């Protein structure tokens, strides 16, 4: 039996979109929760809960990237928590990917088409050549 939408939403918000935690809250198996999620309104609740959780995670990530300065008499005298370079790198590599940040390998073909469709005969010939060389 599907729980009332309001109760489902409360449980989902508390669980941050974690289906296993919601199943435990209702005393059912996860597969039961997945059945409930076939109902569009319940699926929307899951999407909203996960979106809110992601927003919270990004807020925490921002704090880690910026650090928490130690301010005394209006001046920064050090750090309560210094900026986290690992989190900075992660944020730039994921959210900044479209702006050119992140790790990637620049491969160029100088305009040549490198796509090649091999016939079974080509594949056998290529395999034989590999076996000879290695």
Q: Where are the domains of the chain?
A: 1-52, 67-103
Q: 8-12, 67-71, 106-110 — which is least confidently predicted?
A: 106-110
The DSSP secondary structure of 36-97, one letter per residue, reads HTTSHHHHHHHHHHHHHHHHHHHHHHHHHHH-EEEEETTEEEEEEE---HHHHHHHHHHTTG
Give the residue from 91, 88, 65, 69 showing the smallest Cα distance to 78.
Answer: 69
pLDDT band (50, 70, 90) for residue 110: low
Q: What is the mean pLDDT of residues 47-51?
A: 94
Rounded to whole angstroms, how far apart are CA atoms 77 and 99?
A: 33
**SS3 of 19, please?**
helix
Q: 49-58, 78-87, 104-113 — which is least confidently predicted?
A: 104-113
Q: What is the mean pLDDT of residues 100-123?
A: 71
Q: Is pLDDT above 60 for 105?
A: no
pTM (2 d.p.): 0.61
Q: Quick one: CA torsion of 86, 88, 94, 96, rounded to 10 degrees?
A: -150
Q: 20-29, 31-40, 102-111 — which is least confidently predicted?
A: 102-111
């Amino acid at each position: 039996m599907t729980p009332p939408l309001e109760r489902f939403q409360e449980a989902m918000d508390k669980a941050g979109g974690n289906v296993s935690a919601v199943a435990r809250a209702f005393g059912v198996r996860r597969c039961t929760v997945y059945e409930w999620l076939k109902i569009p309104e319940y699926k929307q609740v899951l999407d909203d809960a996960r979106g809110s959780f992601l927003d919270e995670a990004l807020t925490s990530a921002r704090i880690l990237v910026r650090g928490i300065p130690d301010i005394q008499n209006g001046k920064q005298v050090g750090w309560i928590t210094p900026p986290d370079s690992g989190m900075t790198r992660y944020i730039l590599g994921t959210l900044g990917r479209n702006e050119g940040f992140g790790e990637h390998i620049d491969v160029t073909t100088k305009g040549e088409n490198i796509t090649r469709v091999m016939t079974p005969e080509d594949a056998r010939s290529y395999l034989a050549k590999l076996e000879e060389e290695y």
